[in-house]
Amino acid sequence: MKQSNIFKVFTVITIVFISFLGCQNKQQKKQSVDSIAKNLYQEPHRSQLHFSPQANWMNDPNGMFYDKGKYHLFYQYYPDSTVWGPMHWGHAESKDLVHWKELPIALYPDSLGCIFSGSAVVDTYNTSKLGTAENPPIIAAFTHHDFVGEKAKTNDFQKQSIAYSLDGGYEWQKYSGNPVIPNKEKIKDFRDPKVVWHEASQKWILVLAAYDRVKFYASANLTDWEFLSDFGIEGDHRLWECPDLFQMKVADSNEYKWVLLVSIQKNAPNDGTATSYFVGEFDGIKFNSEVESQKWLDWGTDNYAFVTWNNVPKDDGRVLGIGWMSNWQYAQIVPTVNWRSTMTLPRELTLVKSASNYALHSTLVREFEQLRNTTTALGQMTITQEKLIEGSFTASQAEVDLSVDLQQTTASAFGIKLQNELGEKLVIKFDKKEGQMFVDRTNSRKDKFSDEFFKNVHAAPIDFNKEKMNMRLIIDAASIEIFINEGALSFTSIFFPSEKFSAISLFADSGVCNFSNLEVHHLNSIWEVQE
Ligand code: FRU
């Protein structure tokens, strides 16, 4: 054999051998990632139904858009600790809004600062010219937060910038002309841009939070922005964050309205943070609210910075959103070990008009039902005092989707209790005299890690004049999401019992309560079916 042929054969053998090793290696790597993932998603208090990052700190959902069969979810992320720090955008995607795959970090801090909350849009017609007609870009709008400026008290340390992706949201380039909205007025709290397409004016609209109000801007190309107007409540100086603006159809009508979501950082109904909304008109310049006062999207303490997905296909037509399932009052000290914070379940919003008002209802997305495994149907139960729901939690399945109709009763109060053998409990109580639902997590854990978390029993107004009331509960390892009458009222609450709750019971005070159509669906974990 010639020397060059010997060399060729040797090269081929080496390549085959290296690729064999590579495959082995990949196989081993996959196995070890799988087993790490398995262990990670098994820690105490790890949500089995909700998205949480494998490790470290997460807060607000950011930049959500749908494209090519995938729902993208970005989020405020600090990869070096389980408490808040210089923010990045973490990234996850899902084909069904139920199973999530965590992806590499999308946006890193740079010379203009770290990356605070914001949004993303699919620029289908390449209005930004940052992509091409054949390959339109995804544009993310976010706040650059400059810690040096903050320390020096410059007051203009928050500015709006953009980044673009040409591969469907995986790799991102920061725009060279950043910031696209500088902070000329030097407003200390000037952040969280949300972008929406406004069909009538053929413009992109950006809404951002500026201390106690929101500001609207318009652009034809997502890079040059012109200020339009402010919207706020006279005399109310609470801090506003993470706004969202979208148009939606009023249920069972041909009427369309604009909804403005705003998260409030302090003094929300049950203390601390919550997402609120206004319903009205947006004419391309100004927002005009038509509800008599600001309303609450969720009455619990743990649904903050709720915002919606961009680019949900028209033939789907739903308004879909997600919130951060925590509260700044205690988010950084909750007793989880490898990671901190979880998202709420994705929700579908509907706008309902009654004689006097508009109301935003939120329910679970229908895709969630695929997690249902076995069902215990208990039909009707007449309760005096307290009764355990047999088989409500099983040793292997402590996550449930429970639905029950509560009928007019003689009991003055009635409700449902989750508890464990240590006597730790969470109580949901409907009190007719008070006209309220109370959620009491004050005894949900013996070792109290925060005063704020355990301080108060939380409440929400309930209309007891209805003959029948339906309640749906989604119970996960460390949270409950309560939906009354198909989401006319929703209430999200987190908890951290020392041991998982192992029993559910129904109770009635001073009288009888009829619980009918009681069904308990045991749920599969979202982490079991990961690719
Ligand atoms: C809301 C918020 C946003 C900000 C981000 C920082 O929770 O305070 O206003 O952009 O968190 O992580």
Query: Is the same domain home to 309 and 187?
Result: yes
119 lines ligand 1 (CB under 6 A): no
pLDDT tier at 369 (50, 70, 90 boundaries)?
very high
* 489 pLDDT above the threshold of 50: yes
Q: Is 60 a catalytic residue?
A: yes
77 lines ligand 1 (CB under 6 A): no
Q: Which two tokens stand for residue 129?
A: 């010219």
pLDDT tier at 398 (50, 70, 90 boundaries)?
confident
Residue keyed to tokens 């996550």: 399
Over residues 9-14, the mean pLDDT reads 46
Q: For residue range 166-186, list pLDDT tens digits in order.
A: 999 999 999 999 999 999 999
Q: Is residue 29 exposed (0-12), middle (13-18) or buried (19+ Cβ within 10 Å)?
A: exposed
pLDDT tier at 507 (50, 70, 90 boundaries)?
very high
Beta strand segments in 330-399, E: 339-340, 347-353, 358-364, 372-388
Q: What is the mean pLDDT of the chain?
A: 92
Q: Is residue 1 exposed (0-12), middle (13-18) or buried (19+ Cβ within 10 Å)?
A: exposed
Point out the ligand 1 atom lying closest to the alpha carbon of residue 263: 1
Query: Is the same domain home to 240 and 264?
Result: yes
pLDDT tier at 40 (50, 70, 90 boundaries)?
confident
57 φ, ψ to 5°?
Answer: -85, 135
Q: For residue range 50-105, list pLDDT tens digits in order.
A: 999 999 999 999 999 999 999 999 999 999 999 999 999 999 999 999 999 999 99
As beta bridge partners, residue 256 has 249
* Nearest in space to 435 (alpha carbons), one of 470, 469, 460, 466: 460
Domain that holds residue 128: 56-364
Domain boundary among 364, 384, 405: 364
- Cα 305 to ligand 1 centroid, rounded to whole Å: 8
- Cα 244 to ligand 1 centroid, rounded to whole Å: 14
- CATH code of the domain covering residue 73: 2.115.10.20
69 DSSP 8-state letter: T
Query: What is the chain's alpha carbon radius of gyration, rounded to the nearest angstrom?
Result: 25
Query: Is the same domain home to 115 and 144?
Result: yes
67: amino acid identity, one letter: D
Over residues 287-307, the mean pLDDT reads 95
- Specify the pLDDT at position 71: 98
The helix or strand, by DSSP H or E, that contains position 412, with its residue range, turns out to be none
143 lines ligand 1 (CB under 6 A): yes
- Specify the pLDDT at position 465: 84
Residue partners of 16: CB distance under 8 A and separation at least 6: none
Point out the ligand 1 atom lying closest to the alpha carbon of residue 241: 9
Count the helices and strands in the chain (H runs, E runs): 3, 32
Q: How many CB atoms lie within 10 A of CB 505?
A: 18
Domain boundary among 314, 339, 364: 364
Domain presence at residue 50:
no
Point out the ligand 1 atom lying closest to the alpha carbon of residue 116: 10
* 30 pLDDT above the threshold of 50: no
- Cα 218 to ligand 1 centroid, rounded to whole Å: 23
Domain presence at residue 49:
no
- The region of weakest confidence among 110-119, 225-234, 462-471, 519-528 is 462-471
Domain presence at residue 45:
no
- Specify the pLDDT at position 130: 98
Query: Is the same domain home to 151 and 33?
Result: no
242 lines ligand 1 (CB under 6 A): yes
Query: Is the same domain home to 281 and 395?
Result: no
As beta bridge partners, residue 248 has 257
Measured between alpha carbons, how far is 325 from 344 in angstroms, rounded to an integer? 5
460 lines ligand 1 (CB under 6 A): no
Percent of the chain with pLDDT over 70: 91
* 512 pLDDT above the threshold of 90: yes
pLDDT tier at 508 (50, 70, 90 boundaries)?
very high
- Specify the pLDDT at position 37: 54
Domain presence at residue 48:
no
- Cα 475 to ligand 1 centroid, rounded to whole Å: 27
- Specify the pLDDT at position 468: 80
Measured between alpha carbons, how far is 31 from 23 in angstroms, rounded to an integer? 12
To test the pocket of ligand 1, the residue of 76, 146, 301 to mutate (highest count of ligand atoms within 8 Å of its CB) is 76
pLDDT tier at 31 (50, 70, 90 boundaries)?
very low
Residue keyed to tokens 């706008």: 351
* 22 pLDDT above the threshold of 50: no
As beta bridge partners, residue 331 has none
* 42 pLDDT above the threshold of 80: yes
Query: Is the same domain home to 267 and 389?
Result: no
Provide the domain count of the chain: 3
307 lines ligand 1 (CB under 6 A): no
Q: For residue range 110-120, list pLDDT tens digits in order.
A: 999 999 999 99
Query: Is the same domain home to 309 and 326?
Result: yes
Q: For residue range 122-171, list pLDDT tens digits in order.
A: 999 999 999 999 999 999 999 999 999 999 999 999 999 999 999 999 99
* 297 pLDDT above the threshold of 50: yes
Residue-wise over 34-57: b if at least 16 C-beta within 10 A, else e? Answer: eeeeeebbeeebbbbbbbbbebbb
Q: For residue range 196-214, list pLDDT tens digits in order.
A: 999 999 999 999 999 999 9
Over residues 45-52, the mean pLDDT reads 97
CB 490 within 8 A of CB 367: no
* Nearest in space to 319 (alpha carbons), one of 241, 367, 242, 259: 259
66 lines ligand 1 (CB under 6 A): no
Domain presence at residue 60:
yes
Query: Is the same domain home to 372 and 454?
Result: yes
Write the secondary structure of 132-161 as one string of H (helix), E (strand) and C (coil).
CCCCCCEEEEEEEECHHHHHCCCCCCEEEE
Query: Is the same domain home to 35 and 99?
Result: no
Q: For residue range 240-269, list pLDDT tens digits in order.
A: 999 999 999 999 999 999 999 999 998 899
Domain presence at residue 429:
yes
Query: Is the same domain home to 273 and 235?
Result: yes
Measured between alpha carbons, how far is 177 from 520 in angstroms, rounded to an integer? 55
Calculate the CA dihedral of residues 374, 379, 382, 388 and round it to 10 degrees. -10
Closest Cα to atom 9, ligand 1: which residue?
241
* 6 pLDDT above the threshold of 60: no
* Nearest in space to 501 (alpha carbons), one of 479, 472, 470, 527: 479
- CATH code of the domain covering residue 415: 2.60.120.560
191 lines ligand 1 (CB under 6 A): yes
* 350 pLDDT above the threshold of 70: yes
Measured between alpha carbons, how far is 531 from 519 in angstroms, rounded to an integer? 31
- Cα 461 to ligand 1 centroid, rounded to whole Å: 29
Domain boundary among 312, 341, 364: 364
Query: Is the same domain home to 68 and 154?
Result: yes
Measured between alpha carbons, how far is 320 from 98 in angstroms, rounded to an integer? 13
* Nearest in space to 439 (alpha carbons), one of 488, 392, 484, 382: 484
- The region of weakest confidence among 16-20, 106-110, 123-127, 473-477 is 16-20
- For residue 102, give the 3-state DSSP assignment: strand
Residue keyed to tokens 């070990």: 337
Residue-wise over 367-403: b if at least 16 C-beta within 10 A, else e? Answer: bbeebeeeebebeeeebeeeeebeebbeeebbbbbbb
pLDDT tier at 29 (50, 70, 90 boundaries)?
very low
Domain presence at residue 495:
yes
First to last CA, the chain: 48
Query: Is the same domain home to 291 and 395?
Result: no
Q: Which of the listed ranges 268-277, 407-416, 464-473 does the model predict with the highest average pLDDT?
A: 268-277
Point out the ligand 1 atom lying closest to the alpha carbon of residue 242: 9
- Specify the pLDDT at position 408: 67
Residue partners of 203: CB distance under 8 A and separation at least 6: 218, 219, 220, 284
Measured between alpha carbons, how far is 402 from 475 in angstroms, rounded to an integer? 8
Closest Cα to atom 8, ligand 1: which residue?
241
CB 491 within 8 A of CB 457: no
Measured between alpha carbons, how far is 110 from 144 in angstroms, rounded to an integer? 9
- Cα 352 to ligand 1 centroid, rounded to whole Å: 30
List the catalytic residue out of 60, 123, 401, 431: 60
- Cα 39 to ligand 1 centroid, rounded to whole Å: 30
Domain presence at residue 166:
yes
Q: Is residue 256 exposed (0-12), middle (13-18) or buried (19+ Cβ within 10 Å)?
A: exposed
Point out the ligand 1 atom lying closest to the alpha carbon of residue 328: 7
